[in-house]
Amino acid sequence: MPGLIYLYGMDRAALVKNIFAKRSVLCVGLDTDLAKIPRHLLQEEDPAFAFNKGIIDATKEFAVAYKINTAFYEAQGVKGWQSMERTLNYIPKDIFTIADAKRGDIGNTSEQYARTFFHTYPYDSVTVAPYMGSDSVKPFLQFDGKWAIVLGLTSNAGSADFQLQQCGNELLYERVLTTVASWGTPGNIMFVIGATRKEQLQEVRALLPDHFFLVPGVGAQGGDVDTVCRNAFNKDAGVLINVSRGVIYAGSGEGFAAQVHEAARKYQQEMAVYF
C-alpha cells in the first residue's frame, strides 16, 4: 500500500493553485443531517446525496475544499456510507476533499483507516486524533498527494480539558503541533486549529510558519473570517476555513440552493480581500 498513488490525491502545489485562482480558502462542511435538510428532499431515493448535490452545485464556484463529516453518514449505517460515496464521487476532481473522521489507533489499525479513506474512498485527506502518538499518525503519511490533518487546537469548550493544559514549558496542543510536525512535512500534514482569537492564531502561525491549518469554528460556532485571514495567512494562504452550518443550512424550502450560493459567495468575498 505505501508508496502507491491513488486516484485523486492532491498535492500542495495543486491546492495552492486552486486557492489563488478562486481567491478563496472556503471549505464547505457537509455535516448533512436528515432532520435539517429541506423537507421536499426526503422524497428522493437518497435524500442526503440529493441535498449534498444541491450544496455542491451551489458552492463549487467558491469552495476550494469539501469536508465530509463521516459521523453523520455512519449514523445511517450502510445507506449513509452509500450517500457518502456518491457525494465524494460528485465533488469536482479539482477540489480538495477531507474525510473528517478523527481516526487514530495502533499502527496496524491506522493502516486500515488509511486504506479506508485513501483507497476504498479516495479522499485527499483525513482528520486524525493525536493522543496515541507517532505510530498512530505515521501510517497516514505514506501516500503521495494524501494528507493527515491532525487535531491541534479544537474549537469546542472541551479543548480546555487537556489541549490547553500546561505540559512542561508549553501547552499540550503546542507540544502536539511541534511533535507531529516533525513526523512529516508541510506537504503531507495539516493541523486542525480551531482558534478564534487573534493572539492564539498569531502564536500558532509563528510556531508553524509553513503548514496549512484547517480552521473550524467559523459561523455557527462564533469565529470570523477576517480574524483568521489577518492573523494566520502565509504566502500560500495556508488556511482552509471550514463553514458547515453557516453555508449548508443558509437556505430553506425548494429554493434553498440560491440562498446557499449567496452565503458561500459572501464568505468568498470576505476572503478575496486577503489575496
For residues 88 and 118, the answer to whether their CB atoms sit within 8 Å is no
For residues 159 and 151, the answer to whether their CB atoms sit within 8 Å is no
Min dist CB 21 to its own copies, Å, is: 31
**Of 5, 106, 258, 273, which one interacts with its own copies (CB under 8 A)?**
106
Q: Coil, strand, or helix at residue 196?
A: coil
Give the DSSP letter of residue 6: P
| Residue 116 interacting with its own copies (CB under 8 A) | yes
**Of 4, 13, 71, 273, which one interacts with its own copies (CB under 8 A)?**
71
235 is catalytic: no
Determine the number of helices (DSSP H) and then strands (DSSP E) in the chain.
11, 10
Closest by CA position to 28, among listed 197, 250, 186: 250
Binding mask 186-215 for its own copies (x = CB under 8 A): ------------------------------
Rounded to 10 degrees, the C-alpha dihedral 254/257/259/264 comes to: 160
**Of 9, 38, 47, 130, which one interacts with its own copies (CB under 8 A)?**
130
**Of 12, 17, 86, 115, which one interacts with its own copies (CB under 8 A)?**
115
| Residue 86 interacting with its own copies (CB under 8 A) | no
| Residue 110 interacting with its own copies (CB under 8 A) | yes
Count of residues binding its own copies (CB under 8 A)?
57
b/e 89-120 (16+ beta carbons within 10 angstroms → b): eebeeebbbbbbbbbbbeeeebbebbebbbee
For residues 48 and 80, the answer to whether their CB atoms sit within 8 Å is yes
Rounded to whole angstroms, how far apart are CA atoms 126 and 100?
6
Q: Which is nearer to its own copies, 69 or 268 (CB)?
A: 69
Binding to its own copies, residues 138-197 (CB under 8 A)? 151, 154-163, 165-168, 172, 175-176, 179
| Residue 131 interacting with its own copies (CB under 8 A) | yes
Binding mask 210-249 for its own copies (x = CB under 8 A): ----------------------------------------
Closest by CA position to 232, among listed 221, 248, 216: 216
Rounded to whole angstroms, how far apart are CA atoms 118 and 97?
11
Min dist CB 272 to its own copies, Å, is: 29
Binding site for its own copies (CB under 8 A): 31, 69, 71-72, 74-78, 81-82, 85, 100, 102-110, 112-113, 115-116, 119-121, 129-137, 151, 154-163, 165-168, 172, 175-176, 179
Active site residues: 102
